[in-house]
Amino acid sequence: MDMADPASKPPRSAPRSPDPHGSGCGSPGLAVLLDALRPVRRQIILSAALALTGTLLELVPYLVIWRIAVILIDPIAGSGGHAGIPELALAGLAGTLLRFAAQAGGGIIGHAAAFRVERTLRQRLLDHIGRMPLARLDGQGGALKKTLIDDVGRINGVLAHTLPDLVSGLGLPLVAGCLLVWVDWRMALASLALLPLAVAAQARMAAGSSALFTRWSGTEAAANERLLAYVQGIATLKAFNRQARSLEGVRRTVHDLRDLAVSITRRSRYPYALFGLALSFNLATILPAGLLLHAGGSLTLADLMLFLALGGVLTLPLTRVVLAANGLRQLAACLDRIAALLAEPGLPVADTPERPDGNTVRFESAGFTHADGTVALAGASLTLAEVRITALVGPSGAGKTTLARLLGRALDCTEGRITIGGADIRRMDPADLAGRLSTVFQDPVLFHGSLADNIRLARPGATDAEVTAAAKAAGADGFIRALPQGYHTPVGDRGARLSGGERQRIAIARAILKDAPILILDEATAHADPQTEHEVQRALARLARGRTVLVIAHRLATIERADRIVVLCGGRVEASGSHATLLRVSPTYAALRRAQDDAARWSLRGNAAAPTEVRP
């Protein structure tokens, strides 16, 4: 079917909007947050209310002390002796206990809601990443880590800490200010005399802060990426004595981060100092005004004591508001990155998925061109026959890996199409396609956990007997049982405790356990030693029965008995056939064979023949 035909056009892409509920918010990041908050909005409101209640109860001790001072000092109020003081003391104790209870309850509820939102967002991001083309994620480890861990974690911090701080930082000065105005409006104004100075200083600090934080986040992500690459490649760097030079690149990115932090600090040091001074030093206006009014007889000593005690800390909670405002500005950048990731298009999804009839794979003039115009594969037409092994060979850069990635939809064809059982893979349910494919990569990835866990990843419900059978079929049972904990042995980070060949056999066992009808082997025996290679080849031969198998091979000796061998060169299919046929009709295949024969005869004492050059 011609892909230019409207009837065969690719299915629509997954929606890009991160606001599936149509909140109508102008900011995509805010829409993402509101959507995540919807299930816990009652808990968030209750947490904020308890935080405000606890904050207001902080005023109780001040009011109790003030009333006791009035009783003891004012001759009219104290005419009844010390009556009422014990009750006031009990009220102060009760208020303090209630304050702790409210703050503790609000903290527990707020943290529970924050962790739920964090889990929801991470799960949503992971689900979306799972629907994205795998090629889109290449080289994005540092940025994805920052979004998944740091940015989502900052949302947790805002909900659990920043929001209560914002409520208390605004609520306490507002209520306390109203109380002081009721007691004496002149002294209330004196208590707030330095507030305009603090506001001006904060405005100076806030100017341009969003852009600075965005720059900080980008610099931090670059440092994470460089550091991650250095750590992952440390063994190779040491082998070539290049760790010092490579570390210099890491040092530069860290120094860039440091220089930016110093620049931000220098920019805000004077406004920040002025802001803190204005909020914490209002006694400089309260004390002179209070003494003056008291000397004139218009302010009682008890009221003066109240203003000295409460007025001195009246504006101090506003520092929490400033910190909360900074946190909210940082949150905006975090939400923008989360929304941007969620807006990345997923794999196109067909409105009505097609169901394959069988497992024969056909590449029909399939091609792929990178965004920069580089052609990786052009007009490739071939058939992977069902119940047969098809081998794919060619020089480096010929398009072998691209072809395999197109079959797994890590990439989508930019021309032509690929079908399985007659169904265009772009119109298949992605879960159906994934369930039909098993892939063993040249450099397999193992995860934290035991060997059994890593094999069982292919089918979580598999029994121990099925896991063992898969390991035996892959030639892995022997070395697994030789380990101290057998199948329960932890593999370490990315399988670091295993050799390359052992990791490869675990990956093969995983593919065997999945029992998918289509198998892609990307040089699956690359790390197998001669002793185990024959066993693995026998296992793969058994596995091929009833399955469609594509083998990407670099060593021709491993695929000479394949049912069909396809030669790629320069992104195009040059020839296909048996080993003997290709030696006669394919210059590329013949050159590959000569090059490998030359390599086999090579020794440390000199070459037996001049090396053969193979060009893509």
Q: Read off the pLDDT of residues 530-549 as tens digits, 9 standing for 90 and up.
A: 665 666 666 666 667 778 88
- Between 208 and 411, whose confidence is greater? 411
Measured distance CA(346)–CA(13) in Å, rounded? 7
CATH topology of domain 28-183+335-343: ABC transporter transmembrane region fold (1.20.1560)
Residues 6+ apart with CB under 8 A from 406: 363, 366, 368, 377, 412, 413, 418
Whether pLDDT at 7 is above 50: no
Whether pLDDT at 524 is above 70: no
Lowest mean pLDDT among 147-161, 191-205, 451-465, 529-543: 529-543
* Cβ-contact 145, 96 below 8 angstroms: no
Beta-bridge partners for 504: none
Structural domain spans, the chain: 28-183+335-343, 361-601
Q: Read off the pLDDT of residues 313-355 as tens digits, 9 standing for 90 and up.
A: 777 777 777 777 777 777 888 888 888 888 887 777 777 888 8
Measured distance CA(134)–CA(485) in Å, rounded? 35
Residues 283-297 have a mean pLDDT of 81
Measured distance CA(528)–CA(553) in Å, rounded? 13
Residues 88-101 have a mean pLDDT of 86
Torsion of CA 350, 354, 355, 356, to 10 degrees: -110
The full DSSP string for 219-263 is HHHHHHHHHHHHHHTHHHHHHTT-HHHHHHHHHHHHHHHHHHHHH
* Cβ-contact 412, 428 below 8 angstroms: no
**pLDDT class of 210 with cuts at 50, 70, 90:** low
**pLDDT class of 418 with cuts at 50, 70, 90:** very high
Q: What percent of the chain has pLDDT over 90?
A: 5
Beta-bridge partners for 240: none
Q: What percent of the chain has pLDDT over 70?
A: 82
Provide the CATH number for the domain formed by 361-601 in this structure.
3.40.50.300
Q: Which of 118, 132, 112 is nearest to 33 (CA)?
A: 118
Measured distance CA(408)–CA(403) in Å, rounded? 9
Measured distance CA(209)–CA(329) in Å, rounded? 8
The DSSP element (H or E) to which 549 belongs, if any, is strand 548-552
